[in-house]
Amino acid sequence: MSSAGPDIAGSTAEAGTLQAWEAVRNSADIQFAPLPPVKPPETPGWLSVLGEERLAPLLEFMLNAAALSTLRDTLEEQQRVCLIAAAGNDSGRASAARCCRS
């Protein structure tokens, strides 16, 4: 394990390091300020048309299909839970009918 100790007699490393850092810091060739953001390229017209006329309706259809599938699965799961809950009750079918109507 190393630790900071007393300077070595006759060492010039620290002075050289400080001078090198100051030279880099004062150099006009090195930029320390942030650059302005780069403007993103504009979307070509053909790609916009392709996206709006072809891909958007297709993606909308796919998302609607996925949403309907999820809704169907949720309703089926709710119906299963209702039937299981009704099976545990004495009133049986009447309880299942009430549960599944909601």
Residue type at position 14: E
Q: What percent of the chain has pLDDT over 90?
A: 12
Q: 64 is in which domain, residue-wise? A: 54-102
Q: Is residue 96 part of a domain?
A: yes
Quick check: is 90 in a domain? yes
pTM higher than 0.85: no
Query: Distance between CA 41 and CA 17 in Å, rounded?
Result: 43
Query: Would residue 82 count as lying in a domain?
Result: yes
Judge whether 22 lies within some domain. Answer: no
Amino acid identity at 86: A
Q: Which long-range contacts (CB under 8 A, 24 or more apart) does 81-85 make?
A: none
Indicate whether 32 belongs to any domain. Answer: no
Per the domain annotation, does 58 fall within a domain?
yes
48 confidence band (pLDDT: 50, 70, 90): confident
Q: Please tell me the predicted confidence (pLDDT) of residue 7.
A: 61
- Residues 82, 100 contacting (CB under 8 angstroms): yes
More confident residue, 46 or 33: 46
Spatial separation of the C-alpha atoms in residues 102 and 84, rounded to whole Å = 15
- Over residues 12-24, the pLDDT tens digits come to 667 678 888 888 8
| Total domains present in the chain | 1
> Is the predicted pLDDT of residue 87 greater than 90, yes or no?
no
Report residue 25's pLDDT band, with 50, 70 and 90 as the boundaries: confident
